Amino acid sequence: MPKLLLATHNKAKIEEYHLLLERIPYQLTTLAKKSITRVVAEDGTTYEENATLKATIYAKSSGLLTLADDSGLEVEALGGEPGPRAARYAGEGASDKDRIDYLLAKLAGIPWERRGALFRCVIAIATPEGKLELCQGQCEGIIALEPQGSYGFGYDPIFYLPTLDKTMAQLPLAIKNQYSHRARAAEKASVILKRLSRVTVK
C-alpha cells in the first residue's frame, strides 16, 4: 500500500486526519515518523498559498505523496479576520487560550446577530514530481460569548454551531468530523486520493 505523508506537526490535527482518511487506499505517515523536523514558514497571504507551500516542499524532500492543509477562522464583524493569520493572530508563540482571549476582546460589545463566522480549510495534495491538486471545505457558525467545551483545539471552544446548540469543542471527535471544515475538505481530498491511487497502481 502506498504511503501518504501528513505534512503537519499538530498532533490533534493528525488524529483527526487518521479518522477522516481511514478509508483511503494509503498508509498514513507523519513528519515525526519520517524524522522530518523542518517547519515550513506559512508566510503566504492565502490558505491556498500556505497549503501549497507545505505540500510541495515536504513532498519533494520526502519523496512521498503529501497532504497539507491551511485553515482559518473568518469573523463577519472583523471583516474576515483573522483569516489565514488565525494561528498568529495574537502574536508569535501565543497559545490557543491567548488567541481566543484576543479575539473575544476584539468582539467585546458586538451583538449576537453580528458574530457570524466560518471556519475554512484548504487541502493541498502534492506529488514528489510537483503535481498539485487543491480542494476546500467550510463550516458556518457564530462566535460564542465565552469558551465552552474541552475537545478539539484552536478556536473550537468559541465556534458555536446553532444547529447542534454546541461549540465545536463540545463535540467528541467522531461527531466533529461530521460537521467540520476539515472534514468537508477531507471528503473531497479522499476522492482525489482514490483517483491518484488508481493511477499509481497502473
Q: What is the dihedral of CA 184, 176, 91, 135, to 10 degrees?
A: -10
User: Is the pLDDT assigned to residue 61 strictly greater than 50?
Assistant: yes
Q: Residue 154's domain spans which residues?
A: 3-201
Comparing C-alpha atoms, which of 73, 188, 72 is closest to residue 136? 188
Q: How many CB atoms lie within 10 A of CB 49?
A: 16
Per-residue confidence band for 201, with pLDDT thresholds at 50, 70 and 90? very low
| Average pLDDT, integer, range 56-80 | 97
Instruction: In whole angstroms, give the CA distance from residue 134 to residue 4.
Output: 16
Is the pLDDT assigned to residue 46 strictly greater than 80?
A: yes
Supply the CATH number for residue 136's domain: 3.90.950.10
What distance in Å separates the CA atoms of residue 66 and residue 58, rounded to the nearest whole number?
7
Q: Tens digits of per-residue pLDDT, 134-179?
A: 999 999 999 999 999 999 999 999 999 999 999 999 999 999 999 9
CA atoms of 187 and 190, how far apart (whole Å): 5
Q: How confident is the model at residue 192 (pLDDT cuts 50, 70, 90)?
A: very high
Which residues does the annotation mark as catalytic? 70
Nearest by Cα to 30 from 48, 9, 44, 47: 9
Domain tally, the chain: 1
pLDDT tens per residue across span 89-140: 999 889 999 999 999 999 999 999 999 999 999 999 999 999 999 999 999 9
60 pLDDT more than 80: yes
